[in-house]
């Protein structure tokens, strides 16, 4: 499992104070679970198209993330290797 950070630039048309139209650029980052950069980009594009997003947007970059795992309430710790559990600590007498 790999995570990729996909950067998206969204362009929104807003009315300015002079009655004209102003283009506002918003940059967002999405953390995507994918096997390749291409798959990560495709998932974000599909997310936007499936949601019926009508504004103008562009994927401006995709890079591998250093994130190892996303931890949620249901996440359980996975062993790093096949070693047995560490022995329980012994109480030391003072």
Quote the pLDDT of residue 83.
Answer: 55
| SS3 (DSSP) at 46 | helix
- Mapped onto helix, strand or coil, the DSSP state of residue 2 is strand
Three-state DSSP at 23 gives strand
Give bridge partners of residue 2 from the DSSP assignment.
34
What does CATH list as the number for 2-64?
A: 3.10.20
Ranges of each domain in the chain: 2-64
Express each pLDDT in 51-79 by its tens digit: 887 778 999 999 999 998 888 888 777 76
Q: How large is the average pLDDT for residues 27-34?
A: 95
**Cβ within 8 Å of residue 15, ≥6 positions away:** 21, 22
* Longest pairwise C-alpha distance within the chain: 80
Confidence class for position 81, pLDDT limits 50, 70, 90: low
Average pLDDT over residues 2-25: 89
Q: What is the pLDDT of residue 14?
A: 85
Q: Token digits for 13? A: 């048309």
């Amino acid at each position: 499992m790999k995570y990729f950070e996909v950067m998206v630039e969204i362009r929104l048309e807003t009315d300015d104070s002079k009655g004209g139209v102003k283009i506002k650029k918003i940059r967002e980052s999405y953390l995507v679970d994918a096997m390749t950069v291409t798959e990560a980009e495709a998932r974000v594009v599909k997310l936007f198209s499936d949601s019926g997003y009508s504004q103008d947007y562009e994927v401006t970059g995709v890079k591998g993330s250093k994130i190892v795992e996303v931890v949620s309430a249901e996440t359980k710790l996975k062993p790093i290797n096949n070693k047995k559990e560490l022995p329980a600590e012994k109480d030391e007498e003072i």
